[in-house]
A and B are shown apart, each in its own frame.
Chain A
């Protein structure tokens, strides 16, 4: 290619050769009535609504087909069998959640009860402060969401609903924006907890440098959570029992022999380990 690529007509010749090769290759056509292809077990053919002998629609609008649809193409809407109520699978902004649920159910995993989760008591105080700082402005949604994630470690349904109520942005809009950013999580992941004693002794023994390094890596000061929700940076108390070096804990376990460089490496590896695959 590199040798002959510049020769005029090379591309034409290669194209002709290609089509000639195709000419002699076996053909893919299946002669349908005589020859029936093996059909995938997933195949459901064309979806039809059936009518009974009296010409009435047999569908009971139970929504089970929509919930069970393996390829999630069934959408339901219309009038019930007695022509009384307008029925629909659900509000369009919740389709994504419902389909996610059905996918989870099919795969055998636990289905989070989002209605229940929405009423999980979370402290709305910090969220309210974040919203006030952002002036309840739906155009600053990303900033609000990132701050919320930093505050709660993930985005609880209740928090998103509160943001929706407070800013006027649709729940689905907030959800959609949040799904676009890999650092925003909906599930409480395993949060590593780095603790640092901030007493005077530990600070004098090198705690200040360790703190600077950790703030540099984690992007948050003591009392905060990293943006990706992987590491929580908390204050611990050594109580004067630091053994001649600053007390650093990882998930409550003291990490002896810690220096600023080691702390940096530790924090980096924790964040890297929490990174989800495929979300660069």
Chain B
């Protein structure tokens, strides 16, 4: 064996990685060539394409769910970072500022930490249920995200019963909380789980009743259609026709997402961490992630139902027409021919060099190489900004995504802001508020809206 082990041991770490990778590359190339020449690979590809074509709906669904699932992770990281930073600012602190620029990687490293922790199941716990609980919670949240329209044409699944689907699926998350609370074999967990059940079931009612006015106005349950109905200027948004519904919905959404001041489910100062007391490692991480993805989703739903979704608040076209400004940012890359190559090969180094020189002139104590590196970073920032502006001007999807993200993160900010301000309510106050006020207001809103719609129809008929 020493014939193989001795040269292997002499390799450096990089060599130990690169050498097998090279061998693998050679092997794959040979296999590909042989397969191509013998006609096996084209045949397999044809069969694969056939299967995909036959099951295009399933493939679309799987792709959408995967994309959404992947999307939730950075979203949760961003919102966790927002929470750390905003609450710190409200407390007159600086907050995370050590990992990454302005501490932006703090939540990511917290995620890694959670991954590295021991995944512990307490004695006496109902292990299968205990393991399934975070999965159920997380999946319920992710599946709810599937019907949210992010931009024109950018929606996981454009269902005609989108809103109903959303409420049905996101209501499942309480099952996960209950499972976690019940299976943990811990009184705090059980209390937290029961509180979660009581709270979410109570607040599900106003949460469902509040958008009924919007549904009556829009005449559809499709979230995409609801967004398109709100196109135009910002006064076309439903929040101005349904302010009461918006208030009820927002309060109920806060309770539904178990956010302060309605975070009685985890109430860390009362019942340790509620249903999540016994959880550790990535199973706790899933609960934690679900909470923050939930913040994103509830903000997104608020934006979709009441704040025009991906519609811009102002319509710039009449203004631009009035000012006789026309701007066509379309770039004909193919028509540039050889000049495109010259731009890429010579233009970029020249811009980097110029930026580096400017930095060097301003910071003469630095070495030129350091200035050049900073110039390169600046060039990248500049390029991303220019490409972003070009994309914003050229593609409707980018515009929609921009406005949608801006609005959603405004609401995420409000959620975090509320968490930084308001104290937790008592459980009986929570319950009586839902049953005595929110549901009544939501019902009143439905009747008033229905009456107004009838009135308008009657007036239009005459």
Contact = CB atoms under 8 A, between A and B. Distances in A.
Contacts of A132: none
A189 B352 CA distance: 86
A23 B94 contact: no
Nearest to B414: A16
Interface stretch (B108-116, B286-294, B363-371, B415-423): B415-423
Given A12-B422, A15-B422, A22 B417 contact: no
Interface in B63-92: 86, 89-92
B93 interface: yes
Contacts of B97: 31
A254 B421 CA distance: 72
A28 B421 contact: no
Contacts of B421: 15-16, 18-19
Nearest to A16: B421
A32 to B, nearest CB: 12
Contacts of A31: 94, 97
Interface residues of B, number: 13
Max chain B C-beta neighbours (<10 A), residue from A15, A18, A19, A22: A19
Contact of B92 (A15, A16, A27): A27
Interface string B90-111: 1111100100000000000000
Nearest to B419: A19
A16 B86 contact: no
Interface string A175-193: 0000000000000000000
Interface residues of A, number: 13
A23 B97 CA distance: 16
A280 interface: no
A29 B421 CA distance: 20
A225 to B, nearest CB: 57
Nearest to B86: A23
A56 interface: no
A25 B421 CA distance: 15
A133 interface: no
A147 to B, nearest CB: 54
Nearest to A18: B421
B92 A20 contact: no
Interface string B418-447: 101110000000000000000000000000
Interface of B: 86, 89-94, 97, 417-418, 420-422
Interface of A: 12, 15-16, 18-20, 22-23, 25, 27-29, 31
Given A16-B417, A16-B418, 19 more contacts: A15-B421, A16-B421, A16-B422, A19-B90, A19-B421, A20-B90, A20-B417, A22-B89, A22-B91, A22-B92, A23-B89, A23-B90, A27-B89, A27-B92, A27-B93, A27-B94, A28-B93, A29-B92, A29-B94
Nearest 4 interchain pairs by C-beta: A19-B421, A29-B94, A19-B90, A23-B89
8 contacts: A15-B422, A19-B420, A19-B421, A20-B417, A23-B89, A27-B93, A27-B94, A29-B92
